[in-house]
Amino acid sequence: MAEFADVIIDITHEKVDRPFQYRIPESLKALVQAGCQVDVPFGKGNRIRSGYVVGLSDRAEYDISRIKEIAGIHAGSVSAESQLIQVAWWMKERYGSTMNQALKAVLPVKQQVEQQEKRWIRCLLKEEELRQRIEEAAKKKYKARERLLRAFLDADVIPYEMALRTLNLTRSALKPLEEQGVIALDSQAVCRNPARTYLQEDKAALMNGGKVLLNEEQQAVVTDICRQYQAGIRKTYLVHGITGSGKTEIYMELIDHVRRQGKQVILLIPEIALTYQTVLRFCRRFGDQVSFIHSRLSAGEKYDQFERARRGDIQIMIGPRSALFTPFPKLGLIIMDEEHESAYKSEITPRYHAREVARYRAGLSHASLVLGSATPSVESYTRAVQGIYGYYKITKRAKKNSFLPKVQVVDMRQELKEGNRSIFSRSLRSQMEEKLAKKEQVMLFLNRRGYSRFLSCRSCGEAIRCPHCDVTLTLHQNNRLVCHYCGYQIPRPEACPSCGSPYLAPFGTGTQKIEALVRTEFPGARVLRMDLDTTSGKGGHEAILAAFAEHEADILIGTQMIVKGHDFPAVTLVGILAADLSLYAPDYRCGERTFQLLTQAAGRAGRDEKPGDVVIQTYSPDHYCIETAAAQDYESFYKQEMAYRKMLHYPPACVMMTLLIGAPEEETAAAAMALAAGVTANYELSVIGPVNAPIYKLNDIYRKILYMKCENYDILIKIRNQMEEGLKEGGYGGRIGVQFDFLS
Ligand code: ADP
Ligand code: ZN
Ligand code: ZN
């Protein structure tokens, strides 16, 4: 047993960003381990502070008589596996944060959870009666009631709050059902396993429930990965399967295989795709072996789920980014669905990418990592091409008679030329009319991600770009066009620099405006709109999606929120109103994002047996991102995108490190940045800037940014460390904010 423990004091400050050595008293020797939260005397006054044990040793690092002793173990603390501490250490090194910040991202926080009363809705009917009631409700078009009753086919009890939220029910809708003896409202002490509540009594049946027979393509992937797993091979795999190709079924088989070996599994899903439908699918298959976390859980609830994982009460954890830190002692597999999603990148320190951390953790735990996507990130696909990742491609939809939709690209410049100034092309309009007449559903998609105001020409389709950086210039309030990378700026031109046309306008239409237009142009249609405005209230986006899935509306208008999660079998037409919107964001990844969004949006059409159609409206029909998305041709998109990245030295052709420095005085920010930027002179790498950050003044802080590109990650880390040193020595310590970010 170790004599000494390295302890990090639990405050976020650079000065304590190193472990202090403490002696472990005899009475605690059996208890102290890496990850423990302990109380220790600290500083001159020996005030008792709390800290984390991040290492153990038998040797004193300095004069033994001066080493203080641990005062006690923090009551109720989770001692995370030393692996997680190692993960934290690695994150600190790679992304630049204090060990405390890294530990806070990795270790669950214990919090007092008050024993709150929770309510449940219990179904009092036998199955036959229930089915009868469902039929009645359907006949009378009591949509909300029908939804609730249908949910009872899967579960006897449903949490009250969830029912209101995800099934779009109102309190008054429940009243009559209660009076008629259909349901009862129960109160009981809090039961913090979200999964258990979906369970029916017959667990055995559930454990095998929801299983489908895999098709040949699916089975081939499962067989190969399982064979390697069996042979002790652990690696990273990329499953590249088109939308609806049955990737989720593949995950379930893999999970089952690994679970049967006594190992545990983490499945990462972007929060927006983690819907009630998905939850039910996994509960049916895995019963109470599975648990979920999401951002709406309180810290205490999350802690409980992690505790259950640590104790081995559950074997499968499903959730967004932070589920990666589930303290499973026998982790055997990590799966990352929709691996290309930007939500996997943390935008708070440590600014880690879950894909990279997942690889590291998998390595430590001797686990495999499976990445899945219909539109893999350029980074992952590159590794697959290089043979670093195993690679599987699935080209067919899983459901019989379901095929990829037919895609038509409409040139909006031509529409204008021929006198159509509407936001609907003639083709989209006529197809909408046709589908609505057949009582099929339509989705209208406004591609707004990465949206910023830029100027584009309605005649030739050109967007005005920076001559140095190949990104669009952003239109500012003072009527100047500014490059957010290099600072280049020009006054707003009167005419198009390419063709001289005066039809030069800021791009972009809001979803609200589109809704109004749809209502006037298609007066008979029932319209739902989904964007930040309509989803922020109670009910949220799930309620809207549920209503649309129940065919309570004919047309759903939305932003990227609508492309994830739900299956809408009756949607046969997807209209993409302005494919260019995300194409000209001031970011080197905007082409990739556009391709992903268009492909994913198109994949919403024709999920069932009725064939699907997609109309992509654009001012740049010849742009490779739009052409390849329309052709659903990933390989050719990748080839062109990678050529562009190589030419301009953007990741993954190299690693990009950004340094952001902020200070309340402009001069301080500039001087500190100049000092830091000086470090780059000693290295061979390409540097852009320093320039003013895209948002130069934020909360009265002036921000400067520097971009550094290099093929070698380690060199960038060296530069970062040197910059941090230099700034400290230069006396900038507490006067500026410093933030490093890595893109690789
Ligand atoms: P993805 O995750 O690739 O989008 P899913 O796993 O959600 O695809 O599958 C899409 C649809 O096809 C789902 O409704 C699913 O139940 C169905 N499905 C998947 N695999 C099969 C199969 N082997 N046989 C029949 N239906 C399947
Ligand atoms: Zn520029
Ligand atoms: Zn022009």
Of all residues in the chain, the percent with pLDDT exceeding 90 is: 38
* Type of residue found at 336: M
Q: Which atom of ligand 1 is nearest to the CA of 245?
A: 3
Closest CA to 489 of 701, 632, 692, 300: 692
Distance CA 31, CA 143 (A): 57
- With b meaning 16 or more CB within 10 Å and e meaning fewer, what string describes 666-703? eebbbbbbebbbebbeeeebeebbbbbbbebeeeebbb
Q: Which atom of ligand 1 is nearest to the CA of 399?
A: 26
Is the CB–ligand 1 distance for residue 244 below 6 Å?
yes
In the numeric block, which tokens belong to residue 212?
A: 């489908």
Most distant CA atoms of the chain, gap in Å = 89
Q: Which atom of ligand 1 is nearest to the CA of 249?
A: 6
Residue 204 pLDDT grade (very low, low, confident, very high; cuts 50, 70, 90)? very low
Residues around ligand 2, an ion, CB closer than 5 A: 466, 468-469, 483, 485-486, 488
Strands 37-42 and 72-73: antiparallel
The alpha helices in 484-607, defined as continuous H runs, are: 511-521, 532-535, 540-549, 590-602
Distances (CA, A) of 106 to 35, 103, 387: 11, 5, 30
Residue 78 pLDDT grade (very low, low, confident, very high; cuts 50, 70, 90)? very low
Query: If phi over 0 gives left and psi between -120 and 50 gives alpha, with beta otherwise, what is residue 338?
Result: left
The model carries a pTM of 0.77
pLDDT of amino acid 714: 92
Question: Is the pLDDT at 61 greater than 90, yes or no?
Answer: no
* Structural contact between residues 85 and 103, judged by C-beta atoms closer than 8 angstroms: yes
Residue 168 belongs to what H/E stretch?
Answer: none
Task: Evaluate the omega torsion of the peptide bond into residue 159 and state whether it is cis, within 30 degrees of 0.
Answer: no
pLDDT of amino acid 375: 95
Q: How many CB atoms lie within 10 A of CB 25?
A: 12
The torsion angles phi and psi of 188, rounded to 5 degrees, stand at -155, 160
Is the CB–ligand 1 distance for residue 249 below 6 Å?
yes
Is the CB–ligand 1 distance for residue 339 below 6 Å?
no
From the CA of 492, how far away is ligand 3's center (Å)? 14
Question: Is the pLDDT at 445 greater than 80, yes or no?
Answer: yes
Which residue CA neighbors atom 20 of ligand 1 most closely? 246
Is the CB–ligand 1 distance for residue 219 below 6 Å?
no
Q: Which of 285, 394, 399 to mutate to test the pocket of ligand 1 (most atoms within 8 A of CB)?
A: 399
Is the CB–ligand 1 distance for residue 372 below 6 Å?
no
Q: How many CB atoms lie within 10 A of CB 396?
A: 17
Which residue CA neighbors atom 15 of ligand 1 most closely? 246
Q: Which atom of ligand 1 is nearest to the CA of 250?
A: 6
Residue 467 pLDDT grade (very low, low, confident, very high; cuts 50, 70, 90)? confident
In the numeric block, which tokens belong to residue 16?
A: 């304590």
Torsion angle of C-alpha atoms 94, 98, 100, 104, degrees rounded to 10 = -50
Distance CA 731, CA 744 (A): 31
Burial of 348 (0-12, 13-18, 19+ CB in 10 A): exposed
Question: Is the pLDDT at 211 greater than 50, yes or no?
Answer: yes
Question: Is the pLDDT at 449 greater than 60, yes or no?
Answer: no
The alpha helices in 394-437, defined as continuous H runs, are: 412-417, 426-437
Displacement of CA 297 from its chain's centroid (Å): 17
pLDDT of amino acid 384: 97
* Structural contact between residues 112 and 300, judged by C-beta atoms closer than 8 angstroms: yes
Q: Which atom of ligand 1 is nearest to the CA of 394?
A: 3
Strands 527-530 and 406-411: unpaired
From the CA of 249, how far away is ligand 1's center (Å)? 6
Is the CB–ligand 1 distance for residue 565 below 6 Å?
no
In the numeric block, which tokens belong to residue 729?
A: 């020595």
Is the CB–ligand 1 distance for residue 567 below 6 Å?
yes
Give me the mean pLDDT over the 370-377 stretch: 96
Q: How many CB atoms lie within 10 A of CB 733?
A: 12
Q: Which atom of ligand 1 is nearest to the CA of 248?
A: 6
pLDDT tens digit sequence for 226-263: 999 999 999 999 999 988 899 999 999 999 999 999 99
Ligand nearest to the CA of 457: 3
Distance CA 309, CA 327 (A): 6
From the CA of 135, how far away is ligand 1's center (Å)? 27
From the CA of 398, how far away is ligand 2's center (Å)? 45
The alpha helices in 505-550, defined as continuous H runs, are: 511-521, 532-535, 540-549
Is the CB–ligand 1 distance for residue 34 below 6 Å?
no
pLDDT of amino acid 201: 35
Closest CA to 452 of 405, 425, 485, 495: 485
Which residue CA neighbors atom 9 of ligand 1 most closely? 246
Q: Which atom of ligand 1 is nearest to the CA of 241?
A: 3
Ligand nearest to the CA of 503: 3
Q: Is the dihedral of CA 618, 622, 626, 628 positive or negative?
A: positive
Is the CB–ligand 1 distance for residue 744 below 6 Å?
no
Question: Is the pLDDT at 203 greater than 60, yes or no?
Answer: no
Is the CB–ligand 1 distance for residue 398 below 6 Å?
yes
Displacement of CA 580 from its chain's centroid (Å): 23
What number of CA atoms fall less than 13 Å from residue 282's CA on the CB side?
29
pLDDT of amino acid 507: 62
Is the CB–ligand 1 distance for residue 247 below 6 Å?
yes
Distance CA 358, CA 610 (A): 39
Q: How many CB atoms lie within 10 A of CB 309?
A: 24
* Average pLDDT score, the chain: 83
Is the CB–ligand 1 distance for residue 218 below 6 Å?
yes
Closest CA to 145 of 580, 552, 723, 655: 552
Identify the weakest region by mean pLDDT among 266-275, 355-364, 424-433. Answer: 266-275
pLDDT of amino acid 470: 64
pLDDT tens digit sequence for 636-690: 999 999 999 998 889 999 999 999 999 999 999 999 999 999 999 989 899 988 9
Distance CA 374, CA 337 (A): 10
